[in-house]
Amino acid sequence: MLLLVLRISSLALAPVSSFSWSPLQQHSRLHKPFSSPSFITNQCSTSHRNRQHQPISTLSATADATPSTNNNTKRLETLSTIANDAIKAHGSEIFKQFNARVGVISPSSSTDTDFQQNYLRLGLIATESVSKDDQTIASLPFFDTDGSGLALAPHIATKVVYKDALPEGYDGWTGDVGLLAMLVLNEMARLNVDGGSDNKGIDLPTRKEGIQSLMSAWVASLPSPVEMEGMHPLMWNEEEQEMMQSSSTKKIYRLLDDIDDDSSWLDEKVWSLDRSTFPESVKIQVGDEVEERPCFSQEGFRYAVSLVRSRSFFVDGSLRLLPYLDFANHDDFDSLELVGGGIGTLWGSAKGALMKSGKALEVGDEIRISYGPKGPADYLLDHGFVPPMCQTTSGTGGAITAELSFEIDDSDRFRDDKLDVLEYETYDLAPMEPLQVFDVTGGPGSTGEPDPAMIQFLRLINLGGKDAFLLESIFRKEIWGFMSEPVSEANERLAVMAVVEACEKALSEMEGPVGGDITSLSEKMRLCNMVRESERQALERTLIYVKQEAEALDLKEYYQERRLKSLGLDSEWSPENDDVGWAGNRVPGGADYDW
């Protein structure tokens, strides 16, 4: 699910299974909630980078420079040779199957809207023919217990590599992404050739020599920081990041703040205390050249995070780095993704990742997989490109989304009751935070209807007035279910108008031209424009839908009506009315009380 992409002047990278980061309001290293994948309703940071705003119009609108491709081709050939030599020498020691090689993929001239196709890049090439769909091409065991394999998972950082360096329960703002980034930095430090010292990094996990050689070759074949600057938004310059910030509801500054906060804490509490183990930079052998790369520093951590975001997969319940499988490029029309499964090995059966084909392949064909249904901003922030199906012009319908956040007001007199409901009474769901983030969708075929979970949350946070009785303890076990349907016309109006206001606010904050010719824009500006236009479409469709809902509030059935109906009290009673079903001679007003 990844790609190592080289633009005519720089390498770009490959996608990662979508995930998000969920910081708390207070900076606590030990008590931050688990970071969920983005397809799950999640909390987001409210922090905002304090930078001077720069209008997009000040950015260069000229095309990016495109020097000769000779050096770039040579560079990619060097990286592919490093990877292939390691696979040939030691692949059988870890891979059950690996019917592929790493190769240089030439740019396509078929379209200028699929930016991934416009790059000279690395990819996986089939070395054996595949005659049918769903046939396994490559498989990699996890070795989750001790990390002695190639696959990297977050718990290997806390339980194995950094177990003596980090406090128990450590969970940074960057969550699992940050933990994987720390593993990448450690593997990079273990390759250090500066001064002949072998004391850089922590010499864990312990691996067999051949498997460690595979890991070393994979690290050496990763794009350099300079190459990453060419494509990944986390590595763009500040002016370009400002452009991204004002083009999307998914704010890049939140991610940058999380990275800076984590790297500052790690530098103060861990790295700076032992620079012989945690150097700020290292030199590694890449082919015939020795390259210097930032390591245990703010710059190095941001570089590693960008690598992880672009090269990781959410497989078998965890975000993972899967070396060599991550060279597979994205295909909009290939429905197969990397999946978890059982793998037969020399040591018995083990859990691992399986790469399966989505179609028949001949020897020499490129192996491509789907990175999954994500929105344009997610693709750009993760992988550095926007695939055609995520663009508003797509006739097949992409995952066109925008992001809206809502939270319980600190001044709400019923705040404590509502927090209690979110923490304990959301049934089998994990406890919910007072600030929640939801996606709204657009694109061909979309009605603009909001996520029912978002409306459910908004009904709860706007509960008050005559509806506040539902917060009484007698209803505590039922109230979350009540919120799945309209409560009262007043409450429903507040919930609907909250969406209207959020959409209008998000639209007003987006800068840049609406529509028009984008061919004169630089590549990065075109990417941001794609994100901006698709999110505008999602917001506008949602806005139209909820405004129509606001005009039809009197047609909805509310809690009181449903309650009366459930008790059989929703119609006028008469002796001839047999539908009520009163038991025996019991009728309203017919009781003979003996006081």
* Cβ neighbours of 522 (radius 10 Å): 17
- CA-CA distance, 18 to 377, in Å (whole number)? 11
What is the pLDDT at residue 528?
A: 93
pTM of the predicted structure, to 2 decimals:
0.81
pLDDT value at position 182? 99
Per-residue tokens: 50: 């304090």
Task: Specify the pLDDT at position 438.
Answer: 95
Are 365 and 359 contacting, i.e. CB atoms less than 8 angstroms apart? no
Per-residue confidence (pLDDT) for residue 23, from 0 to 100: 30
Q: Which helix (H) or strand (E) holds 242?
A: helix 238-245
Provide the terminal-to-terminal Cα distance of the chain, rounded to the nearest Å.
Answer: 78
Q: Which residue has the tokens 């000279």?
A: 120
Q: Residue 205 in 3-state DSSP?
A: coil
What residue spans define the domains of the chain? 4-60+70-390, 401-566
CB atoms within 10 A of CB 484: 11
pLDDT of residue 548: 96
User: Tens-of-pLDDT digits for all 595 residues of the chain?
Assistant: 333 333 323 333 443 333 333 332 333 333 343 333 332 333 343 344 444 333 333 233 222 333 336 788 899 999 999 999 999 999 999 998 999 999 999 876 444 444 555 567 899 999 999 887 778 999 999 999 999 999 999 999 999 999 999 999 998 999 999 999 999 999 999 999 976 556 699 999 999 999 999 999 999 999 999 999 988 999 999 999 999 999 999 999 999 999 999 999 999 999 999 999 999 999 999 999 999 999 999 999 999 999 999 999 999 999 999 999 999 998 877 667 788 887 765 555 689 999 988 788 999 999 998 888 788 899 999 999 988 777 644 434 446 789 999 999 999 999 999 999 999 888 667 789 999 999 998 876 778 999 999 999 999 999 999 999 999 999 999 999 999 999 999 999 999 999 999 999 999 998 765 555 556 678 899 899 999 998 999 999 999 999 999 999 999 999 999 999 888 887 766 666 655 555 555 555 555 555 4
pLDDT at residue 515, as a whole number: 54
Q: Which of 192, 209, 190 is nearest to 89 (CA)?
A: 209
Q: 3-state class of 130 per DSSP?
A: strand
Long-range contacts of residues 554-562, Cβ cutoff 8 Å, at least 24 apart: 554/489, 556/486, 556/489, 556/492, 557/485, 557/486, 558/486, 558/487, 558/488, 558/489, 558/492, 559/467, 559/470, 559/482, 559/485, 559/486, 559/487, 559/488, 560/488, 562/485
Question: In this structure, which topology does domain 4-60+70-390 adopt according to CATH?
Answer: set domain protein methyltransferase, domain 1 (3.90.1410)
Q: Where are the beta strands (DSSP E) in 388-501?
A: 401-407, 435-441
pLDDT for the residue numbered 54:
35
CATH of domain 401-566: 3.90.1420.10
